[in-house]
Amino acid sequence: MTPRKSEPARLIFRLKHSDADALSASLYTEAEFSRDGDNIEVVESAYSIVDLRARWNTLMRGLIASEQALRFGRE
């Protein structure tokens, strides 16, 4: 059964990064998350799949920008 775009949705995203502390700092205002060592788990919920997709895009843009800043800071 295919979910409808108007149905509530929840996303759990897990990632591992050598600088998880810095990446998780970028999440404080964006999402509910937990960190354990190099592992980060992000939990997002929304009233619709469309809203969850928008939150996902915002979350990913923030993580990508943070990761790039970390990478360029090392050069």
Stated as kind and residue range, the H or E segment containing 9 is strand 9-16
SS3 4: coil
Please report the pLDDT score of residue 75 as a whole number.
66
Per-residue pLDDT of the chain in tens (75 residues, 90 and over written 9):
676 778 899 999 999 999 999 888 888 888 889 999 999 999 999 999 999 999 999 999 989 998 899 888 776
* Cα–Cα dist 16/50, whole Å: 27
Number of H helices, E strands in the chain: 2, 3
Contact (Cβ atoms closer than 8 angstroms) between residue 58 and residue 67: no
Q: Where are the alpha helices (DSSP H) in the chain?
A: 20-25, 49-74
pTM of the model: 0.81
Which position has the token pair 């050069």? 75
